[in-house]
Chains A and B, each alone.
Chain A
């Protein structure tokens, strides 16, 4: 099971954090800070796995962004890399060649996509199509509401 996932930039700025274990805010901040420093200090040619405290950290850099997952000991490290890659593919499809700025300005969308891929720290959907379909349908629901509200505002509804 995944314990948490962090996205951060090469400068060490946090871009997304998803926790599947309950920690007090203070501890979360401490873990985040320490892990970001440790991962950024690793050289590019090193392997993507890091035994860190009692978790196994699997990380990968895509352009300027690090995707970093803390897994439990018995989890398959290589599969976690695939999971990260799947998430990146989904972001890419959704935003259309995604870049760090997309994730900064639309962080809530990045969360929504992750929540359709992973639930409670475990993968819930292995089809990219299904994830994107669910996201599109929910986006549409939101849009309908906006149009609805606008119409009401001018009294057309």
Chain B
């Protein structure tokens, strides 16, 4: 309105009157738009989606038309309505430019709605950014703190890299503003700018440090947030800020010691938000820094013991404290305290607290396994929780806790879990069980039993390679175990065939078919009576089948239309093998009859197999017994787990499957048996296996190795150790290049086998041996490296060191700076009930280790 310059004037001048009249006329011609409130009512009153759509479309059309007018008085109201429509999911991009017009208006109401619209309707990829950058620049210089606040808030939400560059200097100036309201917002804006464009960090450094000297909590918390981001951004800045540790400790101390302050109190805790932010920054500053850690030990202990835990807010702070204690180089007593807090969390009724406890234990389990072991029962209990989030965490944690001493009990729980868990868990869980069994099973019987249970319970969710690795295991076992396997698998196979659920357990069918094919004679012979089939529950459910019954079951399965082709291939081959294992004439005839029917099978692969096998009854009958002889024991393909008790649990043996397919080729002594999706070249010679290994390896890491020849691979164990080692991450089938003696005391000797992985990465295998008389318990090996190194410790093979045994643990050290390797090691254990602690420094590694 132009009449404003006249101020209050009782004598209306002509111009003013004219304008008022004009506007009145204008308003009559163009009716007042619906109010926001009325529009919301109208939309809510709509009964159907179509009705709602029509209301919205009508309003949108109206809003568009008003946007076309240059100087609408209702722009603000229209944008507000548009924002509501946008929230309902309708397109509202046509309001973007109008938002900018509102922002440019001198009225605060317009700016407030305009900036809100800008945050909702624009995002980083809009072209209008150049326009908004100018608006923001103006408003960042405004005299009204709230206008500056709106601009900062918008910049924080939608800053694109270009905007960040253009406005960084303005923000830096505002951080230095004496006004706390502006200061805190500017600090968070700087945080966002650095996130977007890390290069811009330098310019904020000088202004940042003084933020911590403020009294205002808003400024403090935003300052801590900004510093945290800077420290995570670059190691140099991290070092630069090490000196603020005492300041942070002081702020935290004041918070917990100060009396009740109503302004920042949350159920009896003084400003938990600020406390948590400071604890997190302390964690970053104290990580791998003994001096800084030392400076914060006391305050962490104080927070951990003084925080009230009846409410969520207290637990929030404890949770953050535990994370910090575990991450920095804290005193051992403090670590015990932290683990105990987590133990209490695990028993808490609140599910949220239980969830964070499991989560945190999972993060610490590789640092301190024995401490976490104490809570094993509680963790296993969490496997039964109805909540997926908790169950997933509990499962991961349980697997991290499995070792050879608790394997049987843990497996029982985990197998139960596998059985009742949802499909999404089954694959991961079964793979983990297979791996754990491979690594920790005390006896091979126990190992086999666990595998059979997995086959039953995971069904088709099992990973393919488990079939081949199990077959390998059985083939390498003793004759008695082989008979045992055949009997167990027979029981399972028979049950699956009778209950007609074999299609859900195809991996089981495949393994059972292979095993029965190989050792069918042991299954049906009298000798099987000598083998105990009593299982853990004391039940013996095995009845020795007759030859004909076995063949009947095979027939039933082979004629099952639902069974996969792969399973049928296993079965058919197995049946052919049985023809040389079974002796009676009727069963021979029956087998021959079934095989002959496959000569006209609709599937080409099975048909070919049927024809080939039936030839063994006709023209080539003399070859049959020799061709179908029992397989020689297979060697473990780059035996993954046996050699590395400490391999990480996330790691799966990957090399097994193709070789097994090759072995299958050998069984039949002919070409191209498709198994799953792997096609093999026809080369029915003994080299087939090795060729396949060669193929497998050549795809992976050939650039690392000297040229491989097929002959060098015939002996499976010797060649290309680095290859296999790299392939399987943790294993080194090769002997370490050298062994360094690290510690020798009280009959305990600790040696480190050094094995170089890459130019700047070595793997150390710690072997602790003991030649005393009574076993040592709670054996714990700890190791520290200088700061330029990175150390990865796998979990140890055990914690009890019996005489004449060994504990092994794999360490991986990365040394980007290639400086000479030095280690400080600490070994603790209980000898005759008394704790013993030994320390040593190891620096007798060869100087050229990293060259």
- Chain A residues in the interface with B (C-beta under 8 A): 1, 14-20, 22-25, 29, 43, 45-51, 76-79, 81-83, 86, 104-105, 107-108, 111-112, 115, 119-130, 134, 137-138, 141-142, 145-146, 152-153, 155-157
Contact = CB atoms under 8 A, between A and B. Distances in A.
B116 A104 contact: no
Given A20-B157, A79-B273, A134-B181, A51 B112 contact: no
For the complex of A and B, list the 4 residue pairs with the smallest distance between their C-beta atoms, beginning with the closest.
A120-B156, A22-B124, A47-B351, A78-B316
B201 interface: no
B217 A134 contact: no
Contacts of B1: 152-153
A146 B109 contact: yes
Contact of A78 (B113, B160, B217, B356): B356
26 contacts: A14-B87, A17-B120, A22-B123, A46-B386, A47-B351, A50-B389, A77-B352, A78-B316, A78-B356, A79-B276, A79-B316, A82-B316, A83-B273, A104-B40, A107-B84, A108-B116, A115-B116, A119-B152, A120-B191, A125-B218, A129-B263, A134-B146, A141-B108, A142-B109, A145-B107, A155-B16
A14 B728 CA distance: 48
A130 to B, nearest CB: 7
B125 interface: yes
Contacts of B158: 22
Contacts of A79: 272-273, 276, 316, 320
B352 A47 contact: yes
A126 B312 contact: no
Contacts of B109: 142, 145-146
Interface stretch (B4-12, B425-433, B557-565, B803-811): B4-12
Interface size class of B (residues with CB under 8 A): 35 or more
Contacts, number: 178
A127 to B, nearest CB: 5
Interface in B319-357: 319-320, 351-356
Interface stretch (B182-190, B690-698, B834-842): B182-190
B3 A77 contact: no
Given A47-B355, A107-B84, A155-B12, 14 more contacts: A17-B87, A18-B119, A25-B123, A45-B386, A78-B315, A81-B352, A82-B272, A107-B83, A115-B119, A115-B153, A123-B273, A141-B144, A152-B1, A155-B3
Nearest to A17: B87
B37 A126 contact: no
B577 interface: no
Nearest to B283: A74
Contacts of B37: 105
A48 B320 CA distance: 18
B169 to A, nearest CB: 18
A82 B264 contact: no
A82 B312 contact: yes
A157 B263 CA distance: 41
B680 interface: no
B525 to A, nearest CB: 53
Contacts of A119: 152-153, 156-157, 185, 188-189, 222
Contacts of B87: 14-17, 107
Among the interface residues B7, B109, B221, which one has the most CB atoms of the partner chain A within 10 A?
B109
A99 to B, nearest CB: 14
Nearest to B279: A76
Contacts of A112: 112, 116
Among the interface residues A47, A105, A120, A122, which one has the most CB atoms of the partner chain B within 10 A?
A120
B99 to A, nearest CB: 13
B815 to A, nearest CB: 27
B352 A49 contact: yes
B217 A127 contact: yes
Contacts of A1: 195
Interface in B238-288: 263-264, 266, 271-274, 276, 280
Interface string B112-131: 11001001100111000000
B396 to A, nearest CB: 11
Contacts of B93: 25
B218 A43 contact: no
A124 B221 contact: yes
Interface of B: 1, 3-4, 7-9, 12, 16, 20, 37, 40, 44, 80, 83-84, 87-89, 91, 93, 107-109, 112-113, 116, 119-120, 123-125, 144, 146, 149, 152-153, 156-160, 181, 184-185, 188-189, 191-192, 195, 217-218, 221-222, 225, 263-264, 266, 271-274, 276, 280, 312-313, 315-316, 319-320, 351-356, 386-390, 392
A121 B91 CA distance: 25
A124 B222 contact: yes
A129 B216 CA distance: 13
A37 to B, nearest CB: 15
A153 B12 CA distance: 12
A141 B109 CA distance: 8
Contact of B123 (A24, A81, A107): A24
Nearest to B313: A82
A137 B149 CA distance: 12
B25 to A, nearest CB: 14
Nearest to A14: B87
Contact of B146 (A45, A105, A128, A137): A137
A77 B156 contact: no
A76 B316 contact: yes
A33 to B, nearest CB: 9
A127 B263 contact: yes
Contacts of B84: 107
Contacts of A76: 276, 280, 316, 319-320
Contacts of A23: 123
Contacts of A15: 87
Contacts of A43: 386
A138 B115 CA distance: 14
A77 B353 CA distance: 10
Contacts of B83: 107-108
Contacts of A20: 157
A19 B390 contact: no
Contact of B189 (A16, A83, A120, A141): A120
A142 to B, nearest CB: 5
Among the interface residues B7, B119, B144, B156, which one has the most CB atoms of the partner chain A within 10 A?
B156
B8 to A, nearest CB: 6
B20 A153 contact: yes
Given A46-B351, A46-B387, A124 B185 contact: yes
Among the interface residues B218, B353, B390, which one has the most CB atoms of the partner chain A within 10 A?
B218
B73 to A, nearest CB: 9
Contacts of B156: 119-121
A104 B61 CA distance: 23
A87 to B, nearest CB: 12
A141 B37 CA distance: 21
A108 to B, nearest CB: 6
B181 A51 contact: no
A77 B312 CA distance: 11
Contacts of A104: 40, 44
Nearest to A137: B146
A146 B319 CA distance: 49
B146 A152 contact: no
Contacts of B191: 120, 122
A25 B123 CA distance: 9
A112 to B, nearest CB: 7
Contact of A77 (B16, B271, B355): B355
A137 B386 CA distance: 48
A47 B357 CA distance: 12
Contacts of B146: 134, 137-138, 141
A107 B84 CA distance: 8
Among the interface residues A77, A78, A112, which one has the most CB atoms of the partner chain B within 10 A?
A78
Contacts of A123: 221, 225, 273
A29 B124 CA distance: 16
A142 B112 contact: yes
A79 B316 CA distance: 6
A48 B87 CA distance: 25
